[in-house]
Amino acid sequence: MARNKIRLLLVDDHLVVRIGLRGLLETQADLEVVAEAAGGAAAVREFEKHRPDVTLMDLRMPDRSGADTIAAIRAKFPDARILVLTTFDTDEDIYRALEAGAVGYLLKSTDSKPLLATIRAVHGGTYRLPADLAARLAQRRAMPELSVREREVLALIVKGRSNKEIGHDLGVAENTVKNHVKVILDKLGVQDRTQAATTAIQRGLVRL
């Protein structure tokens, strides 16, 4: 009796990437691409329609982030097996995707052999994360979480705004901004605003 195929959904806003993935995956006798989506909203619809065994999910899409899409799918289908396949590897990208419910995380530069092995592994019920990314994830999880307001202040710090300008932009007093900046520096473990901006970009806390 023929073995049942692993049914796959490909989610990526680049058509060339999807074509390349489909071409690779369908060389495997046990894999079948049943649907594709170019954005987060379409991904949720295609998942509901096809109920794939494994979804390969990019993180940056024009209408909805990969992490938000993962969360939306998992809210309706808690057993969904979603594997992130992306070019982005900042600490925050990894953290948000796995917190949203992804069961694996690979970079698009990954060779075909480990990619295929990971698809089969996550279908089998295991979690897969490269060792270096797992170590970084552990460090990120140990860090204090920034509040929504602190993230807003940090984004404006990255843009080079002064405390007075940040206060004006957010509609709060300058002293309130100073207090937020102090907390942000403490949470990030840095000494000044320049280090905070650099760290925010490196970790993916703020998008340029």
What pLDDT does 149 receive? 95
User: Residue 1 domain-assigned?
Assistant: no
Indicate if 194 and 171 belong to the same structural domain: yes
CA 88/CA 198 separation, integer angstroms: 17
- Looking at the fold, whether 129 and 179 belong to one and the same domain comes out as no
Pair 59, 134 in one domain: yes
Q: Give the residue ranges of DSSP H helices in the chain.
A: 15-25, 40-50, 66-76, 91-100, 112-123, 131-142, 148-158, 163-170, 174-188, 193-203
Domain limits at 58?
Answer: 6-141
Q: Which DSSP string corresponds to 26-43? A: TTSTTEEEEEEESSHHHH
DSSP 63: S
pTM confidence score? 0.71
- The model's pLDDT over 9-55, given as tens digits with 9 standing for 90+, comes to 999 999 999 999 999 999 999 999 999 999 999 999 999 999 999 99
Statement to judge: residues 99 and 187 lie in one domain: no
Instruction: State the total domains in the chain.
Output: 2
Q: Residue 159's domain is classified under what CATH number?
A: 1.10.10.10
Please tell me the distance from the alpha carbon of residue 189 to that of residue 132, in angstroms, as a whole number. 21
Residue 180 located in a structural domain? yes
Residues 106, 29 share a domain: yes
Residue where a domain terminates, one of 107, 141, 175: 141
Regions of the chain where pLDDT drops below 70 = 1-3, 208
State the pLDDT at residue 3: 59
And the tokens for 185? 């520096």
